[in-house]
Amino acid sequence: MTVPIESPPAAGPASGGGSDAVSITGLTKSFKKPRSVETGPQALSNVDLTVRAAEFLVLLGPSGCGKTTLLRSIAGLETPDSGSISIEGETVFDSAASLDVQSRMRPVSMIFQAYALWPHMTAAQNVAFPLECHHVDRREIPERVRDILTKVGIGHLADRYPGEMSGGQQQRLALARALVIGQRIVLFDEPLSNVDAQVRERLRLELLRMQRTLGFTAIYVTHDQTEAMELADRVAVMDHGRIAQLGEPREMYVAPRDIHVARFLGQSNELPLVVEQFDERSCSITGSGPLGPVRASWLPDEAPGLAPAVGDEVVAFGRLGDFVVRPVDGTESASVADGPNENTWRGTIEAIRFLGTHTQYQVKIGQIRLRCWSTAGDGWDPTEGTSVVVTIRVQDLRVMRERQPE
Partner 1 sequence: MTSVSGGLLPAAPTRLGRMRSAGNRVRSAGPFSVVSVVLGLLVAGTIAAVMARLGLMAWERFGIGVFAFYWDQVLANPPIRQVVINTVVVVALACTLATFVAAILAWLSERTDAGIGATGRFLPLIPFLMPGLAFPLGWLFLTAPNVGALNVLIRGLLERVGVNLETGPIDLFTWPALVFLYTVPLIAYAYLVISSAMRNLDPGLEEAAKMAGANPPRILLRIVLPALRPAMISAFLISMIPALAMLSIPLVVGYGADITVVSVYILRRITDSFPVGYAEAFLVGLLLVVPIMVVWWIQRRSAATGRLAVIGGRASAASRLRLGRRWRLVGRAVFVTYGLFGVGLPLFGLIYVAGSPRWTATWPQSWDPIAVALNTLNEPRILGAFWNSLTLGIISASVLIVIAQLLTFSQQGHPRLGRFVDALAKSPAAIANILLAIGVLLTLGGPPFRFSPGVLLVIAYIICYIPYASVVTTAAQQQVGKELIEAAKLSGASDFRMLGRIVTPLTRNALLAGLILVFVLISGDINVALILASGPSPVIGSAMWEIFEFGGFVSVANFALVVTLVSTTAILTMALLASRSGLPRR
Q: What is the binding site for partner 1 (CB under 8 A)? A: 4-9, 34-35, 53-55, 75-77, 88, 90, 99-110, 112-120, 129-130, 132-134, 144, 147-148, 151, 161-164, 167, 170, 177, 179-184, 194, 212-217, 233
Under a CB-based contact definition with an 8 Å cutoff, are residues 47 and 14 in contact? no
Closest separation in Å from C-beta 65 to partner 1: 20
Dmax over Cα atoms in the chain, in whole Å?
83
Residue 279 exposed, middle or buried by CB count within 10 Å (0-12, 13-18, 19+): exposed
Instruction: CB nearer to partner 1: give 164 or 402.
Output: 164
What are the DSSP calls for 27-83, one per residue? EEEEEEPTTSSSEEEEEEEEEEEEEETT-EEEEE--TTSSHHHHHHHHHTSS--SEE
Instruction: CB nearer to partner 1: give 234 or 401.
Output: 234
As a whole number of angstroms, the distance between CA 367 and CA 369 comes to: 7
Closest separation in Å from C-beta 143 to partner 1: 10
Closest separation in Å from C-beta 246 to partner 1: 17
Spatial CA neighbour of 380 closest among 357, 361, 355: 361
Residue 400 exposed, middle or buried by CB count within 10 Å (0-12, 13-18, 19+): buried
3-class DSSP assignment, residue 258: coil
Residue 175 parent element (H or E):
helix 167-179
Instruction: CB nearer to partner 1: give 144 or 346.
Output: 144
Under a CB-based contact definition with an 8 Å cutoff, are residues 159 and 122 in contact? yes
Instruction: CB nearer to partner 1: give 64 or 182.
Output: 182
Closest separation in Å from C-beta 86 to partner 1: 12
Closest separation in Å from C-beta 266 to partner 1: 25
Closest separation in Å from C-beta 103 to partner 1: 5
